[in-house]
Structure 1
Amino acid sequence: MTYETVRATDPAVAEALEGERARQNDTLAMIASENHVSEAVMEAQSSELTNNYAEGYPGERYYGGCEYADDVEQLAIDRATELWGADHVNVQPHSGSQANMGVYLAALEPGDKILSLDLTHGGHLSHGHPANFAGQVYEVEQYEVDAETGYVDYEGLRETAESFDPDIIVSGYSAYPREVDFERIQATADAVDAYHLADIAHITGLVAAGVHESPVGIADFVTGSTHKTIRAGRGGIIMCDEEYASDIDSAVFPGAQGGPAMHNVAGKAVGFGEALEPEFERYAEQTVANAKALGDRLQEHGLDLVSGGTDNHLVLVDLRPSHPDTTGKEVEESLEEAGIVLNANTVPGETRSAFNPSGIRAGTPCLTTRGFGEEACREVADLIYDVVDAPHDDDVVAEVSQRVDELTDEYTLYD
């Protein structure tokens, strides 16, 4: 994709777009919530559907001129249904957070109770943080991971549910490196007569490929992002049993948003189609294998991983045991200078500010899309450790940067 037309019209924007393309080509993206979509997905997202207003659903629009929008949305729905096996799918949410909003609007009343994982233990803002709409509209209680093991404390979750009596329990997390026992959480929800929302935003692709347990058919509602491990158009998705279909659709439109971003729905349709190909299962398996290789090598260097490893696409490093005076933000900034982009992250039992926490989170979806295997990810772990061990050493950062340049030349991304 070139930006010749944009440059002729708006050179300043074109310069930023070209700069971003170069940045992605020339750095190793390891933010666990990011991925690199195909040229086909990007082309679909830049289509003429951006001009289309399509309030409503296929065959039931409030505007004319929607026959091709109907075709595209129905393709996205049908492919999502095949990928995840849900009875009903809504592909219109603009994001995973808005997908969660749709579920809350469909299932809850203002003031109802949400039980979710604490943000510093790997939860997400949209699960009830006071800065988010969910924490402002609903009463929220939170459960935690076990301080010793780093795994979700399922017994503690059940005890909290029994005392708090929530209306909905949220599972699924943004910084949790282990497989989620959805059936156990569903059993707790059943015991306290609560709904169960499984937010699989990070693992949507892993679930689709069968390399992580699926909550579809277990939880009452399943939400997710469509641009992370699934590599489709940017946005969100809601899946549910047929009995909730009408309530969910009404909650998304007109409840939570107006017209759908049909160009993004087109990107979802294309990405879902790509995920139905046999290669995608191999991609998902490699993503997990790469994360394990990355985590194992970091541990060999003496770094402490929350929960002692990973079952999915990310590792969460607690810097305190090995580097007590080094913060996650210091490491993030020095690694970015070297061309490795990941994020500082809170860890269970966080003792610092969320803006300058004690951990770093690293994911392998983008590296795997570029073609990295386990050996290359082990080398990336070596580079990360070099910077963790000397974040303010300019010579170390320069040496790592040089090797990153060689790796990005070897594993090319966009032409």
Structure 2
Amino acid sequence: MSRMEELAARGGKVVMNTYSRFPIAFDHGKGMYVWDADGKKYLDFVAGIAVNSLGYGHERLGEKIAEQAMKLIHVSNLYYTEPQIKLAEMICEHSGFDKVFFCNSGAESIEAALKICRKYASMKSKPGRDIITMEHSFHGRTYGAVTATGQEKYQKGLAPLMPGIKHVPFNDIEALKAAVDKNTCGILLEPVQGEGGIHPADKEYLRAVRKICDENDIVLVFDEIQCGVGRCGELFAHQALGVTPDAATFAKGLAGGVPIGALMATNKLAEAFKPGDHASTFGGNPLATSAGTVVLDELFNNGLLENVKKQGEYLKNKLLELKGKYPIIKDVRGIGLMQGIELGIPVAPVIAECINNGLLLVGAGTNVIRFVPALIVKSGDIDEAMRILEKAIVHL
């Protein structure tokens, strides 16, 4: 039995079966590559599902985490720490938001967003507490987040779900207008739907949604858990799309792999939260926020955002070239380094063949392959990935 087979067997006995895991156990990584326990090397275009923004073995990130771990890992949010303050300052400086709430994950940031919508309505003495979200969306696995998610497969067996959540078709402004009424207190959407198949929102649609919220004093929240943190060429995807929400959630790549989540809000909205209204024991701890400052510094001061724009365009063009050669590819869509290709067949066999040949990819639904590499990706990495992908398509 190989080392990898041994680890898979051990894991299967003690780890809950909540993921359809590949029979691979990873040991270490460097840059864009990761090695399994038997020494096989893979080019990684999954990046922990858009989490490992700086790739593997990033020296500055590792050094900062080690330095902070020897100073303070956790002291509780009963007190201030400089790393948390610094990261919040960096986020506010580079966005249209005034306040930040830190937590540990994207799902937790959604829970905070749902609560702040209803707390704001209460503060304003608005009659209703309904929140509208989008079909085919994905917002997380906790009860509020999974209720907000517009895909029944994630809700199976969990009824009764949280009340007061309505779903409408994405990018359909007339459907949204028909759903909004005096009981609506919030609208939640992803500027780029991730798990739903890599579908960017239309700019005109977002502008119309913003107008509806302004006219009805409805809180507009953007879920940028996957599409934020520079992945679309700006700190936030909504900055690339030109529409600013009242609040935004993000997580995944913010600390380069250390668990973190955040809810950003304007002062008007942030006032709805008073001491005791919401909290997170581990949220914004010094270790995670120190890591976050390194990621944002790389984005703004070390050319990483420019790399995303350049390589995102390069990746899209390479995918379009493949689409021109292979009719099985029905569509190419996305923004920056969040791209997807839709195939005319289920993508699982293609992904499996790519993995077999040393390229890690992940799906976004049954027929879409998602490309969310580390933001440090270079043109040569993309060329190698396209070579392996093309080989897998020809192999069909």
Same fold (TM over 0.5): yes
Matches within 5 A, 1:11-410: 19-21=27-29, 24=34, 26-31=41-46, 33-37=50-54, 38-46=58-66, 47-48=68-69, 52-56=73-77, 61=79, 70-90=81-101, 92-108=102-118, 112-119=129-136, 122-125=137-140, 126=145, 128-129=148-149, 131=154, 136-145=161-170, 152-161=171-180, 166-172=184-190, 173-174=193-194, 175-178=197-200, 180-181=202-203, 182-204=206-228, 205-206=230-231, 209=234, 212-214=237-239, 218-225=244-251, 227=253, 231=256, 233-248=258-273, 250=275, 255-260=278-283, 261-277=285-301, 279-300=303-324, 301-306=326-331, 308-320=332-344, 324=345, 327-346=346-365, 357-363=366-372, 365-366=373-374, 368-372=375-379, 377-378=382-383, 380-391=385-396
Tell me the distance in 2 between the aligned counterparts of 1:75 and 1:278.
18
Q: How far 1:17 moved relative to its partner? A: 9.3
Tell me the distance in 2 between the aligned counterparts of 1:42 and 1:34.
15
Contact 1:226 1:235 in 2 (8 A): yes
Contact 2:87 2:289 in 1 (8 A): yes
Question: How many residues are aligned here?
Answer: 333
5+ residue gaps, structure 2: 1-23, 36-40, 123-127
Q: How far 1:78 moved relative to its partner? A: 1.4
1:298-334 Cα shifts (integer Å, max 9, x gaps): 312224344x5333323333222xxx4xx22222222
In the TM superposition, structure 1's runs of 4+ consecutive aligned residues that sit over 6 Å from their partners are 132-135
Q: How far 1:136 moved relative to its partner? A: 2.7
Tell me the distance in 2 between the aligned counterparts of 1:295 and 1:114.
37
Q: How far 1:278 moved relative to its partner? A: 5.0
Q: How far 1:212 moved relative to its partner? A: 4.7
Question: How high is the TM-score relative to the length of structure 1?
Answer: 0.68
Distance of aligned partners of 1:207 and 1:370 in 2 relative to their CA distance in 1, 3 Å threshold = closer
Contact 2:323 2:330 in 1 (8 A): yes
Tell me the distance in 1 between the aligned counterparts of 2:264 and 2:303.
24
Q: How far 1:206 moved relative to its partner? A: 4.5
Question: How high is the TM-score relative to the length of structure 2?
Answer: 0.71
Tell me the distance in 2 between the aligned counterparts of 1:183 and 1:239.
20
Tell me the distance in 2 between the aligned counterparts of 1:193 and 1:304.
43
Distance of aligned partners of 1:21 and 1:288 in 2 relative to their CA distance in 1, 3 Å threshold = closer
Tell me the distance in 2 between the aligned counterparts of 1:40 and 1:254.
36
1:25-75 Cα shifts (integer Å, max 9, x gaps): 53222225243423222333343268543322xxx52xxxx6xxx111111
Higher helix fraction (1 or 2) = 1
5+ residue gaps, structure 1: 1-15, 146-151, 347-356, 392-415
Tell me the distance in 2 between the aligned counterparts of 1:310 and 1:371.
18
1:343-400 Cα shifts (integer Å, max 9, x gaps): 1222xxxxxxxxxx2332223x32x514236xx5355334213213425xxxxxxxxx
Higher strand fraction (1 or 2) = 2
Q: How far 1:274 moved relative to its partner? A: 2.0
